[in-house]
Structure 1
Amino acid sequence: MKLTKIALTLLLSTGLTACGGGNEKSNSTHTIPGVTFVESLQANPDEINIPYKKYKLDNGLTVIVHEDHSDPLVHVDVTYHVGSAREELGKSGFAHFFEHMMFQGSENVADEEHFKIISEAGGTLNGTTNSDRTNYFETVPVNQLEKMLWLEADRMGFLLDAVTQEKFEVQRETVKNERGQRIDNRPYGRMSERVSQALYPDGHPYSWPVIGFMDDLNRVNVNDLKAFFLKWYGPNNATLTIGGDISAEDVLPLVTKYFAPIPVGPEVPTVQKMPVKLTQDRYISMEDKVHLPLLSMNFPTTYARSEDEAPLDVLAEIIGGGNNSLLYKNLVKTQLAVQASMNHPCSELACSVSIYALPNPTSGKTLADMEKVVRNSFEEFEKRGVKQDDLDKIKAKIESRSIFGLQSVAGKVSQLAASETFTGNPNYIKTDIARYNAVTKEDVMRVFNQYIKGKSAVIMSVVPEGQAKLIAAADNFTPKTHDFGGPSTTSADDLVARRAVDTFDRSVQPKAGVNPAVEVPTLWKSNTKNGITLLGTQSTETPTTAIFIKVPGGLYHESAEKVGLSSFTATLLGESTENYTTEEMSNAIEKLGSNINIYSDKTHTNIYVSTLTKNLDATLDLVKEKLFKPAFNKDDFERNKQQSIQNIQHSMKDAGYLASNGYNKLLYGNNIAGLPSGGNVQSVSAITLDDVKGFYKTNFKPQGTEIIIVSDLDKSKVESKVTVTFADWEGQAPKFAVDFTEPKVETNVIYLVDKPAAPQSEIRIGRRDMVEDITGEFFKANLMNFALGGTFNSRINLNLREDKGYTYGARSRFWGDKTSGGFTASAAVRADATAASLTEFTNELMSYSEQGITDEELMFMRKAINQKDALKYETPNAKLGFLAQILEYDLSPSFVDERNKIVSTISKEEINKLAKKHLNTKEMVYLVVGDAQTLRPELEKLGMKVVDYKL
């Protein structure tokens, strides 16, 4: 089951205070001309909903307002009911392309200013596109609301004149880079679009990828893009949702001012549901730069929010949704496969059941064998049937995940926006709850028989290059090809523009009000007799508890010969215990709707726990079982060892993984700090079960452990529950002793790692540098770096992405912890622009080092960083991070004020001095991962030494 989809719209009864009851409707005229009040949902403690008020402007814009006074924030979301499914055959990728263009300035907002304005307002922003909708959103301090409405209205009504041929060309290159980074240069990256071509008929709206085909984007011109905008981006095809520390009475006049003058767009046609059926199995295959072959099976089903969607989600969970699923039992548990799963991704017009399996090479099983096991699992399900436990567990997951989604104003606004866009009812939550609660055993068996049993599917084999013999079966389907002719001839004369008529000067940027007062969370602290430090705060917005446990013992406690041991130990702590099998433990956690995640980092083993507070006691019992009664049995060990080895070998096909590991090795040598935290094939192969038991016995001790708690319970209640859980734990682990002496590595040299035929190159440039501090030179160096490479509008990103079109994103940063640190500039760039990108990186670093920051950049940095406080403590997870930092560095909460003072007062001279000190490229190493055969001649032209580098 795709829980992220369900969590977007589902809530079950929990007694939240920020809830709603019945709808209030009105046919009366609203007091603001041009605005019609539609309905409201009022707070009601007997029901679970997100309160809102809904309005409609005369131009068709739907406006939803949600009041949430818990934090001085506001979240603005504009969702357009247009995605790749509204495109035409041969003109794919337009919706996603426009997601890029909408950030490139509009008539009253200069080029690149959109990101800058929101960043210096202390906000965050983004946009996303899928098959059915495009949304743009920002979270800012509440005093910045009017400015956000001005920005969003300007690109809705005043964009086209600012869309130039030059911007079009740059963003076309950026989209190509995004595709290269996320699809073409990633193992299995092209699988999804190949499956879609086979699953859906030629011309079906889902038969092409959201990002589009590059041939289509290369063929069209800027006027094609403008025509697409004029058709779909009118106010009558949009929903504006605003939530936060506001009131509808204050917001509506601003919405009317900026959005009401925008003319209505063309009538938006209703798109019919388009589920599909296959008359026979379609086998397709592809060779790729992968380590393991992969089998994918896709069965067409229904469409989103149909009566069959919910039982299909339940079916997918039973057959392949987790450690209790049939595919896990039959493929992963038996070590026939490294991974296997089944889910039911659903979109507005059509859905499909998706299954994949990666065979474990030690099993000797083929993709044909995988297909057979999957089909046998269907037969097993038919005999097994559906148990009440299946339904209870899934409903518990939905309840908890949905409530966790209410922890931010962004989460609530997103739910309202999605419900309105796809159903016309912001309160669709109630219907969603009902349909999942109403799923019966008979419903699940019915959809199994209707969509899976004996039905045809698309079966795709992805195999390593040169190993076509491994495919599950011979291809029997070829997608139809088209010749759409040469370059588009669409001209500006073919466009029918719309112009707004204003009664005010829209070119004047609204001024923000006074920065809202932001309160640092009230903290409590205590220490246990066995050496544990507890730090907590109360957060009453949702009935949830989040706990972060940091136990000393991580990568730095290992030996180089068996690197990966702490990570492996953490993995086995998530398996069976003395009293529970892995499956029983997973089932127990899922029935509570809780999450217990165990992982290691450089210095600690970390346990993250989240739960509904009503289930806290039961969840803590399971935490205690996992941490203090691990079974460490041989079967779990062998299965996870094989999975780790295969995952490492798979990762070695990923350019980003190669770059990160190669770069760390250059900076640290063969020291433990320079090795991958998950280990390498040799080290993981050498780890024994006794090693795991020994690491746990030696390092898993309470002395020095930190537990951070954010709960709606007060200190006395939650402290006693946690303290009792760990009361019997005793001992102290040894300190780690890592030699951080820098290796003797030649600098100002290009180290080249070969990844044959890579469409993109990964670049890392940097050096070892300062350890992290909170208010010292490390903190100030990151202030210095902000304008260089620390934000979207930084010099590096604007140069390589926006000006040159070499990359999807470029950045730089100072990084570190209490033990070591460094500076890194990085990007994934077009292969043919690798040498040019290195030149631009070097020029930007040298220029900033020699000339320093400008007055404008200094002011931008101060505004952007000092106004972010309102966003720092909103959610429980944000509070956990804040408290963890306080414990790690033994801070007083007043360090926030000290940092703010530094940001406000740091001088241009001090920043320039830091730039000159830390940005000398002659002291840096250059690492490039790409196709060495073609890159070497170009890199040698730069006049730098090029060294072949083996990992």
Structure 2
Amino acid sequence: MAPHRLGPAILLMLLALTGCAATDGGQGGIASAFAPFAQKGAAEAGPITLPDGVEWVETVTDTQKGIVIPYSKYRLDNGLTIILHEDHSDPLVHVDVTYHVGSARERPGRSGFAHFFEHMMFQGSVNVADEEHFKIVSEAGGTLNGTTNADRTNYYQTVPANQLEKMLWLESDRMGYLLPAVTRQKFEVQRATVKNERAQRYDNAPYGLVGERVGEAFYPADHPYHWPVIGYTEDLNEATLADLQHFFLRWYGPNNAVLTIGGDLDPEQTLAWVKKYFGGIPRGPKVQTVAPEPIALDQDRYITLDDDVALPLIYIAMPTVHARHPDEPALDVLASILGDGRTSLFYKNLVRDGLAVQAETGHPCRELACQFTLYALPNPAAGVSLADLEQRIRASFDEFEERGVLPDDLARVKAQIRSRLIFGLESVSGKVSQLAFFETFAGTPNYIAQELARYEAVTEEDVMAAYRRYLKDQSAVILSVLPEGQDIAPASAANWQRPAPPQASAPTASLDYRAPVDDFDRRKAPPASQSVSVIPPMIWRDSLDNGIPVIGAINDEVPTTALTLRLNVGQLDEPLTKLGLAALTASMLNESTEGSSNEALSNRLDKLGSQISVSSGNRYSSLTVRSLTENLDETLDIAWERLFTPGFDEADFERVKSQTIEGIRAAKKDPSSVADQVFSLTLYGQDNAFSWSDAGLEETVASLTLDDVRAFYAEFYRAGAASVAVVSDLPRGEVMALLSPLEDWQGDRPPPTPMAAFPRLETGKIYLVDKPGATQSEIRIGRRAMPFDATGRYYRAGLVNYPLGGAFNSRINLNLREDKGYTYGARTGFSGEREFGRFVARAGVRTDVTGPSIREFLDEIHLYADQGPTAEEVSFTRQAIGQSTARDYETPRQKLGFLSLLQTYDLKPSFVEAQKRILDTLTEAEADQLATDLFSEEVTIVVVGDREAIADQLSVFEREIVLLDENGRRVDEGS
């Protein structure tokens, strides 16, 4: 958890709700700010021979002005649109199939079908056996997933380049041959899985129902955005197999899809494969263009939601326009001015003044309608009510009207959009996603120039006009989230009630299955072509005059730089009475400096489009930098200012400390976070600082002073504890010159803090944290294990665990998720540091199957220890992990992670070759012996759930049930 923020349960959910000050494509910018940008690694398409039935539409090359993703666009006779992007910089390809259908295409009373169908598309088709899709992609060394939103559903895989034909076979088989393979059993299992997902991400998550409640009040009952993408449980319960089949036949035709492929490909061969596998799939019903459906509110609608949260929340939503409306860019700029970051009015008026621990705005846009969203979480120390916050928000509107738009406002937004766009080109998946998005929603992949022009045209007058038209004196939905059991008033009494759910209407017309016509045998999966060659990045090593080691790698595909300055100081160096001190110190380095306010620093960074952050973990504190290389020198100036001259301002300290405490309180409301914390304490004991959350405990953070932070900084932030890793398109010499300001830094690192002895593992107990009313139980089962070792027992343990619980199609996930429908996902795995490690099996499961889920976990682990993996599982592991290395070094962040690994464990790059030898020579006998050694040991069990609902289920294990609180301390049942 970032200690200067609220916990992830709050932050991630709210970010998803508010979006960012950009279009729903996540891109935008200013055309005049771009120099011609030819992306290295991209190949210009030459003339090729097209297969029959494939029509060329257009080719866009990187010789055009501005930022361009080169591509060629084609279309099949059945309406399938194909986009190819060549990039030979890495031996991999990314395949994306986007269907222009999301929850907005559902019928009232039948919500959740688009998302439900996303799940069904992974359950096999006529020529791909049940549960084989994930196995095939994993064994090919790939990664895959699917996503659904209100407007589209997409499926994607990133695989080694030699697996492309197989991916096209897979995607085409489920496009053309899914329905005949759908069975009642598959339908019911995935219905249960989707309900588990809803319980985990919405019903059982703090603030998880905010978006659902706001959408219901914001949109009329028959509006396509009225219901949540996940759907209502009642609608999922009422869904029939016939409903599902109709949804597929209506929307999943090739004429409603875009197939985008990018990476190390041969265009002529790729088109031949596309024609072979997709050409025989019949066209679906005609899909009409969807007209925008913006809405208007006749009065403010106040609603309330009681939730198991630590802090109340006020959330305001106001109707605006729709995606790609002429006023959208101006509204995005307005959102940035009002509530995006430390330069915003919301930050100044609510967060900096201590009234709120967090306050932001956004303008998330979708195909049919957009919202202007604002939220704030009050600071309990300030004693303000939600009504007070609403008044302050409205006063900020008035202040903006008087203040107007400043030149820096436009400069910040434009620079951020520009850098975000370039960062998005660092991976082939990012480029493919961009092309697919614009083709689906703008009708052309080459929309970036138009998008840039839209933002280039925004003026101060446009922003003011947008404010007056869409925000000033306009009605809104105002939601108050109230913590259960606390006497807290809403912003205003509720004046709107949830309507009765609409009755399901019948499908508009019956549709028949359209069988494809092929001229080849689909039952045979195509083989992989010649194996790809994977080479880790070439690295260089150097050191500064004061001894700070530097490790680097060149990445010249995009003009960006990623850098980490890491200090060997973290939570391990905290006294138990000052838990959270390392994280709080790191957070203070994100605040003002001796010479600049944090608002001034943020303004400078935003105008550069750069990112700098300081964070702390168990062993290390890190200053990370992400910058366009052209702005690197100015960005590093700010980084060094933060590092060497922190202001340690008292007002900053009190605000950050208050935010940290509220984040700790929020984490206690998140069952998954609680389970992780308590499990760590059972393994390593309460006398080791690293057993606790990096943020610390509420009482220890409350006792910290600014003098504690100053002393910790002075003692540990020294050159002798520092190292640097950098990935850039700059050569070594230029990088070292930019790092020269670090050479004046001095000081040796103090001796490391010794660890306390670990407690005896209590394997005869179940540790239970009671969460009354929880719809799911969080389970953690495990023990202490070996520390990290790149080429020893630790690495081998990871290999042997892979078929048990490391892959999606592992024994445990197939059992609990796919076969029984108990959970949204279940995993097992080893993790380790230098001195210690752990093995953990984990899942969030339905409350009514908590006991049976634990039994399945234990039985699967014991069976694996007794019998070991099969020969097929060993072969699968060798193939999946061996070929996945093609994806390991693509982006600057991946390369930076590789460099950091070398630094952390004093490794040489040759460890990669050693791992390959171990993997290639892994035998069934060796794996069997390892399984016996690794999984025969007794385990401890932690459960976070509704005690009353699960007590009888836990009693069958004949283990003592020990009640704990969220901090792992025993609860006196008599108190």
TM-score (normalizing by structure 1): 0.97
Q: Is the 8 A contact 1:16 1:542 kept in 2?
A: no
Task: Please give the alpha-carbon distance, in whole angstroms, between the structure 1 residues aligned to 2:545 and 2:51.
Answer: 64
Q: Is the 8 A contact 1:20 1:51 kept in 2?
A: no
Larger deviation, residues 941-950 vs 507-516: 941-950
Percent identity over the alignment?
Answer: 52
Partner deviation per Cα, 1:109-167 (whole Å, 9 max, x = no partner) = 01111111110111111100000000000011100000000000000000001111100
Cα distance change, pair 483–414 in 1 and its aligned pair in 2 (3 A): closer
Q: Deviations over 1:526-577 (max 9, x none)?
A: 1222221100011110011110111111000101111110100000000000
User: Which amino acid letter does the alignment assign opposite residue 932 of structure 1?
Assistant: R
Pick one of 815, 823, 844 that aligns with 1:807: 823
Q: Which residue of 1 aligns with 2:795?
A: 779
| Structure 1 residue corresponding to 2:132, chosen from 104, 110, 113 | 113
Deviations for 1:737-773, whole angstroms, at most 9, x for unmatched residues?
2325220242132111111110000000000110100
1: CA distance, partners of 2:382 / 2:531 = 62
Note the residue ranges of structure 2 that are not aligned, 5 or more in a row: 1-19, 968-975
2:767–2:943 contact (8 Å) kept in structure 1 = yes
1:259 is aligned, of 262, 270, 278, to: 278
1:124 to 120, 143, 146: 143
Is residue 520 from structure 1 mapped to residue 536 from structure 2 by the alignment? Answer: yes
Partners of 1:550 and 1:454 in 2: CA distance: 49
2:39 pairs, out of 18, 21, 37, with 18
Q: Does 1:696 align with 2:717?
A: no
**Which residue matches 1:673?**
690
SS in structure 1 of the partner of residue 175 of structure 2: helix
Letter in 2 for 1:769: A
Q: Is the 8 A contact 1:596 1:607 kept in 2?
A: yes
Secondary structure of the residue that 1:407 maps to in structure 2? Answer: coil
Q: Residues of 2 paired with 1:843 and 1:489: CA distance?
A: 45
Which among 575, 586, 596 is matched to residue 570 of structure 1? Answer: 586
Letter paired with 2:230? I
CA 1:451–1:489: 2 relative to 1, 3 Å: closer
**Partner-residue secondary structure (3-state), 2:221:** coil
SS for the counterpart of 2:743 is coil
**2:909 aligns to what SS in structure 1?**
coil
Any residues of structure 2 matched to 1:541-580 within 5 Å, and which?
Answer: 541-580=557-596
Alpha-carbon distance in structure 2 between the residues aligned to 1:135 and 1:233: 11
* Contact kept? 1:287, 1:467, Cα under 8 Å: no
> How far apart in 1 are the matches of 2:826 and 2:21?
32
Residues 27-426 of structure 1 aligned to structure 2 (within 5 Å): 31-44=50-63, 46-426=65-445
Q: In the TM superposition, what is the alpha-carbon distance from 1:935 to its structure 2 partner? A: 1.2
Q: 1:529 to 1:500 in 2, by over 3 A?
A: same
Deviations 1:345-391 (A, max 9, x none): 00000000011011111111111111000000000000000011100
Amino acid at match of 2:149: N
Contact 1:19–1:49 (8 Å) recurs in 2: no
Contact 1:761 1:828 in 2 (8 A): yes
Distance 1:297 1:585, change over 3 A: same
Measure the CA separation in 2 of the matches of 1:499 and 1:55. 24
Matched, 1:533 2:554: no
Decide whether the 8 Å contact of 2:21 with 2:333 is kept in 1: no
CA distance in 1, matches of 2:756, 2:87: 49
CA–CA separation in structure 1 for the residues paired with 2:358 and 2:374: 11
Q: Is the 8 A contact 1:548 1:707 kept in 2?
A: yes
Shift of 1:517: 1.0
1:931 correspondence with 2:952:
no
Matched, 1:738 2:777: no
User: Are the counterparts in 2 of residues 291 and 649 from structure 1 also a CA contact under 8 Å?
Assistant: yes
For 1:25 and 1:308, the matched residues in 2 are separated by 40
User: Hey, what's the Cα distance between the residues in 2 that align with 1:771 and 1:685?
Assistant: 33
- Within the alignment, does 1:821 sit opposite 2:842 as a pair? no
Structure 1 contact 177–829 (Cα < 8 Å) conserved = yes
- 1:696-739 deviation line (CA, Å, top 9, x unaligned): 000001114211110001111112111x1201100012122232
Aligned to 1:498: 514
Matched, 1:911 2:927: yes
Query: What is the match of residue 849 of structure 2?
Result: 833
Query: Using a 3 Å threshold, how does the CA distance of structure 1 residues 16 and 504 change in structure 2: closer, same or farther?
Result: same
Amino acid at match of 2:751: K
Distance 1:313 1:583 in 2: 20
- What SS class does the counterpart of residue 703 from structure 1 fall into? helix
Residue 425 of structure 2 aligns to a residue whose secondary structure is helix
Which of residues 597, 602, 624 is equivalent to 2:618?
602
The 3 A distance-change label for structure 1 pair 524 and 917 is same
Give the CA deviation at 1:482.
Answer: 3.5
Partner residue of 1:719 out of 736, 742, 753:
736
**Cα 1:738/1:180, change in 2 over 3 Å:** farther
In the aligned structure 1, how far is the partner of 2:763 from the partner of 2:183?
A: 42
TM-score by length of 2: 0.95
Corresponding letter in the other structure for 2:95: V
Instruction: State the Cα distance separating 1:494 from its structure 2 match.
Output: 5.0
Cα distance in 2 between the residues matched to 1:74 and 1:268 = 29
Q: Deviations over 1:890-912 (max 9, x none)?
A: 22211111101100102222222
CA distance in 2 between partners of 1:478 and 1:648 (Å): 33
Structure 2 distance, partners of 1:458, 1:936, is 41
Q: Deviations over 1:589-627 (max 9, x none)?
A: 111100001100111111110101110110110011000
SS state at 2:720 partner: coil
**Secondary structure of the residue that 2:424 maps to in structure 1?**
helix
CA–CA separation in structure 1 for the residues paired with 2:929 and 2:884:
26
Distance 2:756 2:794 in 1: 18
Q: Which of 425, 432, 450 in structure 2 is aligned with 1:431?
A: 450
Alpha-carbon spacing, 1:593–1:746, altered in 2? closer, same or farther (3 Å) = same
Q: Distance in 2 between matches of 1:452 and 1:405?
A: 31
**CA distance in 2: counterparts of 1:872 and 1:195, whole angstroms:** 41
Of the candidates 945, 954, 959, which is equivalent to residue 944 of structure 1?
959
Residues in 2 aligned to 1:740 and 1:126: alpha-carbon distance in whole angstroms: 42
The one-character-per-residue Cα deviations of 1:296-349 (angstroms, maximum 9, x if unpaired) are: 000000000110110000000000111011111111011111110111000000
The letter of the residue matching 2:37 is: L
- In 2, distance between residues paired with 1:874 and 1:24? 22
Retained in 2: the 8 A contact 1:9–1:428? no
What secondary structure is seen at the aligned counterpart in 2 of 1:732?
coil
State the alpha-carbon separation in 1 of the partners of residues 534 and 616 from structure 2.
Answer: 33
Is the 8 Å Cα contact of residues 20 and 43 (structure 1) preserved in structure 2?
no
- The 5-angstrom pairing of residues 449-460 of structure 1 reads 449-460=468-479
What is the match of residue 762 of structure 1?
778
For residues 839-864 of structure 1, what are the alpha-carbon distances to aligned partners after superposition, in whole Å with 9 as ceiling and x for unaligned?
00000000000010100100000000
Distance 1:748 1:590 in 2: 55
Structure 1 359/750 Cα, relative in aligned 2: closer, same or farther at 3 Å?
A: same
Q: Give the 3-state SS of the residue equivalent to 1:54 in structure 2.
A: strand
Deviates more, 1:175-184 or 1:910-919: 910-919
